[in-house]
Structure 1
Amino acid sequence: MDRYLTVADVTESARRLVSRFPGTGRLRRIGTSRAGRPILMLSVGHGPRHVLVVARPHPDEPVGGATALALAERVARGEQLSPATDPALVTWDIVLCLDPDGAALSEGITEATAGPEPTLEGYYGSAFRPVAAEQPEWAPIVSRQLPESQALFDVIEELRPFLQCSLHSVEAGGSWVQLTRALPELAPPFQRSAGALGVPVQHGTYDALYWDNPSPGIHVLPPPDSTDRLAAGSENIGLSTWCAPMRYGGVTAIVEVPMWATDLADDRSPHPGAADALRELSGLVRDGGRQVTAVLDKARRFLPPAEENALGRVLEWMADDLYDLVAESWEPLARQAAEASLTRAQVCSLDVVARRQPLRAAGLLLRLLRAADDDTAPALHRELHELFAAWCTDFEKALRLRWVPVRDQVEHQARTVVAAADSALNVVQF
């Protein structure tokens, strides 16, 4: 495994697996996307208990498709490497791609990262992540019910899984897991896997700034009444698909692996100037956002209307107030840093977020400018691409990024999912 798989690759591999293991694997359609694409689920095993695996919930996080197939293969072979992979005990139900429409707009990632030394410029130039209201796992939080979200809710209600695993990846940093309920036995195998494969464990993450952190890289959702401990915009997280298995006593694990790793992610030494660093990062995300928006303002008259174009909707959403929202969410941390130093790892996690926001926007706008039929588009493209390339280079150098081979991303994520399933078997009451 030396590259990410497209949705078509994953689907074809799933069909072949069903043919190779007749009676063990089943493939069925569980829903239809907004654009009419099928949402498929591969089930392996016949056990009375269910693990639900969700691949490609975010279309710009491509590792999940390959991980899903790796998990299915292990169970189908009946290797029984652990209790959770015993097909007579546990059925593994694997949603091959939760957001096929978004994935279609990120298909270029496979080619862009297929070389021996993939670059951030190639990745951000081909990646797409929809606005929050169009992300299937997150849309219910903002009162948007997508058919993709409903398909997942329906499967959760049907199967009542004791564990749901959502397969995510992060552009840069380390690996971590977010849980809706503590799994005490997960931390040791998770950390052993990361160490064996040379994947740093992320100490501190923007995604779970105020969650409980019982072990390095493991974060547990705070109680429902602790809304002051959640990131901005996630106060209604109980409405998300992540929390749906809790209705039946189940738990969800969100498993993150890095595409590019940085050793700063697990550097727990005090940062010598954390308060100043946070102020600089706030300026970085705001300044980058303003520069992209300035080019967008010049191009808006000839770009497709945002309501008709998914890339344009993201650009307008980000230009509205997203850059400021991200920067402002760090103000409590900046005050904390003035009193007690943050670690280099904590600052590193925020550094990744600060740099990626303008890069995501710039990559989308560059794609629209390349396709635009207007005499001024090439000049605007050159102007923005100069910034884009410089930001990518600065990102790679500042965090000393190194590519994690796809096979190692997949192996670590698959090991972590199996460890979570084994742990959940001992925690969840049946």
Structure 2
Amino acid sequence: MSHSTVDAYPGVAGVVAAASAFVRFRPGLCTLRVIGRSREGRPLHLLTVGLDRPRVRNVLVVAGPHSDERVGGASALRIAERVALDPQLHVGSGSAWHFLLCLDPDGTSRSESGPAVRRTPAEHFRHAYRPPADEQPEWAPSIRPPDDQLPESEALVALIDELRPVLQCSLHGNDIGGSWVQLTRDLPGLSEELGKLSAERDVPVQTGTYDALYWRASGPGVYLMPEPGERSQFDSLPEDVSRSTWIRPHAHGGMTALFEVPMWASPGVSDSSPHPDPARALADLAVLLRHQTGLTRTMLAEVRQAVPRPDANEARLLRIADGVAAMGPRVAEEWEGLHASPVRLSRAHVAALDIAARRMSLRTAGTLLQVLGDSAGPEAVRIRRSGERRLGRWAAELAAGHGLTWLPVPTQVDLQTEAVLAAFRLLSPGP
């Protein structure tokens, strides 16, 4: 299972096939089993590297928590290979590593449509599948009622309770930005390691984020979960980190770390200097978001007319597009009230918010184009052509405004792998 040099993400089936071959070559050290099934019946595969022995310290690595963030499967395979080849990472540290190869195989399989190699930003948003938060297995427990949980969430929670991991590593891949980590407990020294690893690969460390705007920084690019009762995110977001699967290891004395690497690097997210006029910048972003949301809502109405009897997949996509479009005005209003803010807004913060605003409209437009598919009716053709032109223009504006540089997939995998291993070593220092 050598480190791929192909600039493309492996598919869900390819990751499982590689793990199966890996196990056949190391039968005494590695196992592969199914720990549950997805909503559509796909197996959830767990690759284990390390011997099962008393008092073992388990590490759980979760790939594919977000279906449009596809780097995790390749990173999980790479980390597994590194662990297997280095006894100090398993028997020498009294540890076993467990790799959930894809937490959301249904959604991730949908994101595999379109060009396989080095997509443009427009192609990415045209083909990526991003379900609403209540259908994302890590977030769903914080939103859905206890008697209506996703089978993927239930499988992950049961696995955490079985393994009682000292460290859960969740592998994410932001589409635009830099490298960063979210921690449910501090790991002193991780910021320095992340900075070094990122600099060696010419990747910006993200010092301002939309997701963790209210989280305290342990150091550049490393964010600590707020204490109970403290604000953790924007009110317009439905998720609650305190009830997500990230917290489950705490019941067993463990912790969770989320590792983000970008598809396209943007230098502006690393600029920690104070923004000269954040109030004006936020007001401008609100105007932009309202304008683009209005256009996507018009497109949504047109698509509904063009597809009056949607099938199950089209109905799912329409629900996603409607949810994102409905969130736009709430987000715009919240951002207008962000200044004066309890957070000292830097240029990096404003850059991250600008990316988030443009991403919302790109996701909506791309999802609506997926609803239309290859429909041949004249109205569907007109809407599709107009939507593709708009998506292409918005993606080009985003790329030009943020100086995007594609980060080859092998580099994404390498950076995420080394960041995970650095966190493990800080948690379990050697002799």
What's the TM-score bracket when you normalise by the shorter of the two chains? over 0.9
Residue matched to 1:241: 245
Residue matched to 2:141: 140
**1:414 counterpart (403, 417, 428):** 417
Structure 2: distance between partners of 1:124 and 1:244: 32
Residue 368 (structure 1) shift: 1.7
- 1:396 and 2:403 matched: no
Write the deviation string for residues 78-123 of structure 1: whole angstroms up to 9, x where unpaired: x24xx545566211100000001101210126x34x14xx410111
The answer (yes or no) to whether the contact 1:274–1:341 under 8 Å persists in 2 is no
- 1:70 and 2:78 matched: yes
- Relative to structure 1, the CA distance from residue 158 to residue 292 in structure 2 (aligned partners, 3 Å threshold; closer, same or farther) is same
- Greater Cα offset, 262-271 or 20-29: 262-271
- Greater Cα offset, 150-159 or 178-187: 178-187
Residue matched to 2:123: 122
Give the 3-state SS of the residue equivalent to 2:149 in structure 1.
coil
Residue 279 (structure 1) shift: 1.2
Write the deviation string for residues 2-38 of structure 1: whole angstroms up to 9, x where unpaired: 2111101101100010011111111000110111111
Write the deviation string for residues 296-323 of structure 1: whole angstroms up to 9, x where unpaired: 102203425486532122012123x211
Identity of aligned residues (%): 43
- 1:104 and 2:120 matched: no
- 1:52 and 2:60 matched: yes
- 1:316 and 2:322 matched: yes
Structure 1: distance between partners of 2:299 and 2:372: 10
The answer (yes or no) to whether the contact 2:171–2:258 under 8 Å persists in 1 is yes
Residue 351 (structure 1) shift: 1.1
Which residue identity lines up with residue 149 of structure 2 in the other structure?
Answer: Q
Residue matched to 1:41: 46
The answer (yes or no) to whether the contact 1:370–1:378 under 8 Å persists in 2 is no
Residue 274 (structure 1) shift: 2.2
Which residue identity lines up with residue 131 of structure 1 in the other structure?
Answer: P
Give the 3-state SS of the residue equivalent to 1:329 in structure 2.
helix
Structure 2: distance between partners of 1:189 and 1:277: 32
Residue matched to 1:335: 340
Which residue identity lines up with residue 95 of structure 1 in the other structure?
Answer: L
- 1:194 and 2:198 matched: yes
**1:362 counterpart (365, 386, 397):** 365
The answer (yes or no) to whether the contact 1:164–1:245 under 8 Å persists in 2 is yes
- Relative to structure 1, the CA distance from residue 166 to residue 329 in structure 2 (aligned partners, 3 Å threshold; closer, same or farther) is farther
Structure 1: distance between partners of 2:425 and 2:93: 14
Structure 2: distance between partners of 1:140 and 1:231: 19
Residue 334 (structure 1) shift: 2.8
- Relative to structure 1, the CA distance from residue 210 to residue 84 in structure 2 (aligned partners, 3 Å threshold; closer, same or farther) is farther
Give the 3-state SS of the residue equivalent to 1:371 in structure 2.
coil
- Relative to structure 1, the CA distance from residue 268 to residue 119 in structure 2 (aligned partners, 3 Å threshold; closer, same or farther) is same
Which residue identity lines up with residue 3 of structure 1 in the other structure?
Answer: A
- 1:272 and 2:273 matched: no
Structure 2: distance between partners of 1:31 and 1:87: 31
Structure 2: distance between partners of 1:417 and 1:324: 37
The answer (yes or no) to whether the contact 2:264–2:404 under 8 Å persists in 1 is yes
Residue 417 (structure 1) shift: 0.7
Structure 1: distance between partners of 2:337 and 2:227: 20
Instruction: Point out where structure 1 has 5 or more consecutive residues left out of the alignment.
Output: none
Which residue identity lines up with residue 92 of structure 1 in the other structure?
Answer: W
Give the 3-state SS of the residue equivalent to 2:273 in structure 1.
coil
Give the 3-state SS of the residue equivalent to 2:251 in structure 1.
helix
Instruction: State how many pairs are aligned.
Output: 416
Residue matched to 1:325: 330
Residue 284 (structure 1) shift: 1.7
- Relative to structure 1, the CA distance from residue 87 to residue 41 in structure 2 (aligned partners, 3 Å threshold; closer, same or farther) is farther
- 1:180 and 2:181 matched: no
Write the deviation string for residues 316-340 of structure 1: whole angstroms up to 9, x where unpaired: 2123x21123223323433339xx9
Structure 2: distance between partners of 1:352 and 1:86: 43
Give the 3-state SS of the residue equivalent to 2:203 in structure 1.
coil
The answer (yes or no) to whether the contact 2:362–2:394 under 8 Å persists in 1 is yes
Give the 3-state SS of the residue equivalent to 1:277 in structure 2.
helix
Structure 2: distance between partners of 1:307 and 1:123: 23
Residue matched to 1:3: 8
Alignment of 1:17-28 (within 5 A): 17-28=22-33
Structure 2: distance between partners of 1:352 and 1:87: 43
- Relative to structure 1, the CA distance from residue 67 to residue 235 in structure 2 (aligned partners, 3 Å threshold; closer, same or farther) is closer
Residue 342 (structure 1) shift: 2.8
Q: TM-score, normalised by structure 1?
A: 0.92
Residue 373 (structure 1) shift: 5.1
Structure 2: distance between partners of 1:185 and 1:85: 22
- 1:154 and 2:158 matched: yes
Structure 1: distance between partners of 2:284 and 2:134: 30
Residue matched to 1:222: 226
Which residue identity lines up with residue 354 of structure 1 in the other structure?
Answer: A
- Relative to structure 1, the CA distance from residue 358 to residue 185 in structure 2 (aligned partners, 3 Å threshold; closer, same or farther) is same
Which residue identity lines up with residue 351 of structure 1 in the other structure?
Answer: D
Structure 1: distance between partners of 2:265 and 2:239: 30
Give the 3-state SS of the residue equivalent to 1:207 in structure 2.
coil
Which residue identity lines up with residue 350 of structure 1 in the other structure?
Answer: L
